[in-house]
């Protein structure tokens, strides 16, 4: 049995390790497109802030890990897939025969149609190569413009601020992290960053970037312009599905998969940022490009590839964001469900906010700013659909008693 | 023989000696906020529940860690390596039990590591509400049951 995994990110690596646990004899090959050991994009901000070196971003710290587990990691970019004959052509020539294939090719940054994004000094922040360029350009006191203050942009934001640059963050939507937090929470975040010296421009678009003599000029929809040594583009990502055109593997926003992470082609599975899989909260199939989902997908897809039928019941959307000491997170249906109750507590001066969303007497979603203790219970309560009973009334009055409610219900103290 | 912390909430009197012992051993200070074990106090019901990591067989915190900072030691315990932890907190939202916490003063996450096989909370507990016994013993299975219910696949049922 030859398992071939396209992609060396968390989904691919977790899948390879799970396959090895399930089958000691199978041949397992990871094909990664970048010339690096498998690493974590999520760790790049910490490389930029100087907390870790490049090795610190590696998904496995033991250099012999893959060899010791009989996992071959090869640099190759997938070309065309021939699912009928179970082979994948490589971009550099040659082909690989598989028995089971996992598509874990991840996502790539979206480049909005803005003139000047191809100029020197304009970079995405997605790969280690991008990080090296940013490390070189973003020195203390330099003017830097960040295009996009969504989740990824906001993570990069902290890293850039910690490098001591003079930062402007430009977000076209009316608030920061619009797909992670509501107006109240993102308003707090904006105020926090402004207090830390960041120029946050929401509801503003970058119209054009031009190259001056020793700097970039960034023209804004407000009519103003910013100067910058570096522009970092964080305008979203899109699944890497292009190579599947004409392969018979159905794609939409990502690779379409069923409740077992199988694609429309026999013996082909998908996981991680490239997979359009079930969302626990909505029941719909959508791309949830986050680390814990990649890990869950990788593990579940691998079990199915190894013949151990494992349903994927849906992944929970969840995010955690650090902003120089201010931690925020959101889980599931954080913006509420139709007909559901909600409870919120807010202390704007103290940068504390907690909003709970209910479906009947079950927890459906959470947003938290400034609350970190036992915050994982939000996932536990949402995913177990634990009935809160009278604890719902407690939480309606005191949302901050969330962990207590979880422990009580789990212990039968009702 | 693998051992595990087994908690019997009925025996807990809410004295919180475990929290003090834990924070002292792990952080060098008597500060329940930094304890890896937490006693939930349901005084209206006259119940106290000591609560900490159950060391899942295949742990969400571990698989969600982007930098290999959480590993499983020979006793099956999930350990956080401070030198590798970048403080991204993904494990704190991935753990459905909420037993991995962020420690703002170090910028790292903290969780129970059973004190290298000699848990301070067990020694501090005057009523044997927290004991350290062979994993096969009853009580641990109950906790596993909860683990199963939270699963997105079949993770903790192994």
Distance from CA of A248 to the nearest CA of B (A): 27
DSSP notation for B13-50:
-S--HHHHHHHHHHHSS--GGG-SSEEEEEGGGTEEEE
Count of structural domains within chain B: 1
Distance from CA of A198 to the nearest CA of B (A): 21
In contact, A264 and A250? CB cutoff 8 Å: yes
Distance from CA of B69 to the nearest CA of A (A): 9
Name the pLDDT band for B152 (thresholds 50, 70, 90).
very low
Digit-coded pLDDT (tens) for B135-148:
766 455 555 555 55
Digit-coded pLDDT (tens) for A165-182:
999 999 999 999 999 999
Q: Is the domain defined by A2-108+238-305 classed in CATH 3.40.50.300?
A: no
Neighbours of A42 (CB within 10 A): 23
Tell me, yes or no, if the two domains A2-108+238-305 and A326-410 fold the same way.
Answer: no
Query: Which residues in B lie closer than 8 A to residue A315 (C-beta atoms)?
Result: 152
Indicate which CATH number applies to the domain containing B122. Answer: 3.30.70.20
Query: Which residues in A lie closer than 8 A to residue B68 (C-beta atoms)?
Result: 58-61
Name the pLDDT band for B62 (thresholds 50, 70, 90).
very high
Dihedral sign, Cα of residue B23, residue B28, residue B29, residue B34: negative
Q: A49, A279, A295: best mutation site toward chain B, by most B Cβ within 10 Å?
A: A295
Q: Is the domain defined by A326-410 classed in CATH 3.30.390.30?
A: yes
CATH architecture of the domain A122-233 equals 3-Layer(bba) Sandwich (3.50)
Q: Backbone dihedral region of A106: left (phi > 0), alpha (psi from -120 to 50 degrees) or beta?
A: left
Measured at the alpha carbon of residue A238, what is the angle toward residues A234 and A243, in degrees to the nearest 5?
135
Digit-coded pLDDT (tens) for A348-358:
999 999 999 99
ipTM: 0.95
The domain in which residue B33 lies consists of 3-157
Q: Is A176 on the interface with B (CB under 8 A)?
A: no
In contact, A97 and A87? CB cutoff 8 Å: yes
> What angle do the packed helices A377-384 and A402-410 form, to 10 degrees?
50
Query: Above 50 in pLDDT, residue B153?
Result: no
Question: Would you kindly state where each structural domain of chain A is located, as residue ranges?
Answer: 2-108+238-305, 122-233, 326-410
* R_g of chain A computed on alpha carbons: 22
């Amino acid at each position: 049995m030859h398992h071939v995994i396209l992609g060396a990110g968390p989904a691919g690596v977790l899948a390879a390790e799970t396959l090895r646990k399930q089958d000691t004899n199978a041949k397992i090959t990871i094909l990664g497109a970048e010339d690096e050991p498998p690493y974590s994009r999520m760790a790049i901000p910490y490389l930029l802030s100087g907390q870790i070196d490049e090795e610190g971003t590696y998904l496995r710290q033991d250099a012999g890990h893959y060899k010791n587990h009989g996992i071959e990691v090869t640099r190759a970019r997938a070309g065309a897939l021939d699912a009928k004959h179970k082979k994948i052509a490589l971009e550099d020539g040659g082909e690989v025969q598989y028995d089971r294939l996992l598509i874990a090719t991840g996502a790539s940054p979206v480049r909005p149609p803005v003139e000047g994004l191809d100029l020197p000094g304009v970079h995405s922040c997605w790969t280690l190569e991008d990080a090296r360029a940013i490390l070189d350009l973003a020195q203390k006191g330099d003017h830097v413009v960040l295009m996009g203050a969504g989740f990824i942009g906001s993570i990069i934001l902290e890293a850039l601020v910690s490098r001591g640059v003079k930062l402007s963050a430009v977000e076209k939507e009316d608030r920061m992290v619009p797909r992670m937090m509501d107006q109240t929470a993102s308003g707090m975040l904006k105020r926090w960053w402004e207090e830390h010296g960041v120029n946050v421009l929401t509801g503003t678009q970058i119209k054009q970037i031009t190259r001056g003599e020793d700097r970039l000029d960034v023209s804004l929809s407000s009519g103003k312009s910013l100067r910058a040594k570096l522009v970092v583009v964080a305008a979203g990502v899109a699944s890497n599905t292009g190579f599947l055109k004409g392969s018979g593997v159905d794609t939409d926003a990502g690779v379409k998969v069923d409740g077992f992470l199988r694609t429309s082609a026999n013996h082909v599975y998908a996981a991680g940022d490239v997979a359009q899989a079930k969302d626990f909260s909505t029941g719909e199939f959508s791309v949830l490009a986050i680390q814990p989902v990649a890990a869950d997908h990788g593990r579940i897809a691998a079990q199915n590839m190894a013949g151990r039928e494992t349903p994927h019941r849906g992944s929970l959307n969840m995010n955690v964001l650090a902003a120089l000491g201010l931690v925020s997170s959101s889980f599931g249906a954080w913006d509420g469900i139709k007909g559901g109750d909600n409870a919120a507590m807010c202390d704007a001066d103290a940068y504390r906010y907690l909003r709970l969303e209910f479906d009947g007497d079950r927890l459906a979603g959470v947003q938290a700013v400034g609350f970190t203790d036992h915050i994982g219970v939000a996932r536990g309560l949402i995913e177990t659909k634990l009935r809160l009973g009278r604890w719902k009334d407690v939480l309606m009055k005191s949302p901050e008693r969330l962990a207590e409610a979880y422990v009580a219900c789990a212990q039968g103290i009702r | 023989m693998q051992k595990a912390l087994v908690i019997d909430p009925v025996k807990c009197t809410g004295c919180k000696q475990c929290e003090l012992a834990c924070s002292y051993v792990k952080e060098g200070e008597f500060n329940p906020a930094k304890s890896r074990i937490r006693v939930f106090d349901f005084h209206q019901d006259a119940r106290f529940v000591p609560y900490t990591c159950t060391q899942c067989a295949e742990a969400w915190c571990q698989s969600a860690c982007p930098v290999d900072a959480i590993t499983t030691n020979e006793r099956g315990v999930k350990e956080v390596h401070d030198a590798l932890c970048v403080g991204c907190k993904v494990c704190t939202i991935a753990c459905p039990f909420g037993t991995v916490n962020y420690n703002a003063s170090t910028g790292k996450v903290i969780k129970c590591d059973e004190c290298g096989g000699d848990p301070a909370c067990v020694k501090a507990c005057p009523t044997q509400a927290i004991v350290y016994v062979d994993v096969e013993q009853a009580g641990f299975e109950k906790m596993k049951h909860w683990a199963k219910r939270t699963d997105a696949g079949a993770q903790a049922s192994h």
